[in-house]
Structure 1
Amino acid sequence: MNNLGQSENKYIDFVSDEHLLKCISNLHNSYLSAKREFTKKKFYKNKVDIFKLTFDSRFNQLSEEELIKLELSRQIDKSVNNAIGTFHEEVLGGIEGFNSGRFLGYDLKANDDSLFAEIKNKHNTMNSSSAESAFQKLARFANDNKNSKCYLVQILAKKSFCKKWEAIINGKEYSHSRVYIISGDQFYTLVTGKKKALFYLYKSLPNAINDFLKSVSEEKLNENNILSEISKSAKDNNRTILDEITFENFLYYKGFDRLK
């Protein structure tokens, strides 16, 4: 039992331990998939900014290995952002009385159709077209289900709030009496009935992730390690890691062939 007031489960008390670990496993698979698809060829595709890496390594006091790990993580991060939103959808779908439905037009709904939600991980992930589409979708759910309330959820919002979603999008005025926009903390409270539900999830994750990783093989954790590939190539060619990246990206530049 943890020290956050949950009495039955090891991690949080609004979804089962098994469900939370399954959500973590799904997210881990998304990370592995992103790493698997992110090859050295893709890393080099848009050309690595070797000057920025040089400044970063000196000004931020990073080793070459740390520097490249951060750069790889930054680029892979673009692929996993959506997966974080899916993680929240899946966690919330494990709450009694709710289910997630990524391929059914909604991210989360109450089993009695009293609530529908579109879930976004961050407040700035939608452009005007996607915002317009999201509002129209939620308005349709509200119109088709007269006793429902529909929410655009921003898991990571600029403040804690819940309000009617009223906006001018693409020059059109949008408003509906039962369409709301809500921050992640208040939405977790709404569907769990617990004021600090999102905080409890946050505090439970380190232990839950550690427990999950114990079941993952070392081979799988290190799958498609681009850094190892670059490091081996650098060692074979008697170059530093940064020089290896520079050579492989800019061999055709005058003078850079001296890195041979």
Structure 2
Amino acid sequence: METSRQFKKTLSNAIGAFHQNLLGALPGWTSTGRSGGVIDIVHKEEFGVTGRSAIGEVKNKFNTLNASGKQTLYDNFQDALKWNYKGYNCYLVEVIQKTPKPQHPWKVANRGEREDIRLISASEVYKISTGDDQAFSKFFTVVNKLLLKNISYHPMSRHSACLSELLVVLELQERNRLIAPPLPQIKPVNVLQHNSLTQRPR
């Protein structure tokens, strides 16, 4: 059971790094890699409806952070805006949202509300950055197909539950099942290299 838990944690971190790399490869964006601290991606030019430069922290799911984690991240965003990223917008980028909706100010209990600290879906980041409404869905249609084609899956394998979870995630991400454009050239992330993955909750 402990081995399975560790594998799931490793897989979750790998998926988070994977999404960070992909978002960082979109037009205008740069990934900070493992050296960015609380900031995963940076967009130095104008981005989105507010027309400001942007920084972002990427999370796999809407429930990755508990209440305390949300407050800590919000405080970190406020510090970033005060010291290193004056005039920017901070975005919490959620790959899977509980209820998909357009970007909006991120409300956190006991932290008030600011226009420059916002919540946005990864899908909307892809849309704004590429000009293609279906860019996110198209890309992950291909990822799903590659996984099913190239990864050995056996129901008794200790990896099966993790792979099943990953495929469910991808199914949610590619609901429209559209034909995908060519894949961008992204450096692959090895899920078995524990030390190469950030340990922040993904």
TM > 0.5 fold call:
yes
**Alpha-carbon offset, residue 167 of structure 1:** 2.0
Contact 1:117–1:138 (CA under 8 A) maintained in structure 2:
no
Which residue of 72, 87, 94 maps to 2:25?
94
Alignment of 1:131 with 2:70, yes or no, is yes
Structure 2 counterparts to residues 208-219 of structure 1, below 5 A: 208-209=146-147, 213=150
Match of 2:97 in 1: 157
Alignment of 1:118 with 2:51, yes or no, is no
Q: Could you tell me how far apart the structure 2 residues matched to 1:95 and 1:194 are?
A: 12
Match of 2:112 in 1: 174
Instruction: Select the structure of larger CA radius of gyration.
Output: 1
Contact 1:142–1:179 (CA under 8 A) maintained in structure 2:
no
**Alpha-carbon offset, residue 182 of structure 1:** 1.4
Q: Could you tell me how far apart the structure 2 residues matched to 1:210 and 1:157 are?
A: 24
SS across alignment from 2:111: strand
SS across alignment from 1:174: coil
**Alpha-carbon offset, residue 80 of structure 1:** 1.2
Aligned residues: 147
- Match for 2:114: what amino acid? H
Pair 209,226 (structure 1): closer, same or farther in 2 beyond 3 Å = closer
**Alpha-carbon offset, residue 210 of structure 1:** 7.0
| TM-score for the superposition, normalised by structure 1 | 0.48
Match of 1:187 in 2: 125
Deviations 1:100-137 (A, max 9, x none): 11322211111448110011000101112221121122
Q: Could you tell me how far apart the structure 2 residues matched to 1:179 and 1:226 are?
A: 40
Contact 1:164–1:179 (CA under 8 A) maintained in structure 2:
yes
SS across alignment from 2:93: strand
- Match for 2:19: what amino acid? H
Percent sequence identity over matched residues? 26
| TM-score for the superposition, normalised by structure 2 | 0.61
Select the structure that is richer in helix: 1
Contact 2:26–2:126 (CA under 8 A) maintained in structure 1:
no
SS across alignment from 1:204: helix
* RMSD value, Cα: 3.1
SS across alignment from 2:22: helix
Contact 1:116–1:141 (CA under 8 A) maintained in structure 2:
no
Contact 1:157–1:184 (CA under 8 A) maintained in structure 2:
no
Which residue of 142, 156, 162 maps to 2:81?
142
Q: Could you tell me how far apart the structure 2 residues matched to 1:208 and 1:150 are?
A: 33
Match of 1:199 in 2: 137
Asked which structure has the greater RCO (Cα within 8 Å, sep 6+), the reply is 2
Match of 1:46 in 2: none
Stretches of structure 2 that go unaligned for 5 or more consecutive residues are 47-52, 160-202
Q: Could you tell me how far apart the structure 2 residues matched to 1:180 and 1:103 are?
A: 23
Structure 2 counterparts to residues 223-234 of structure 1, below 5 A: none
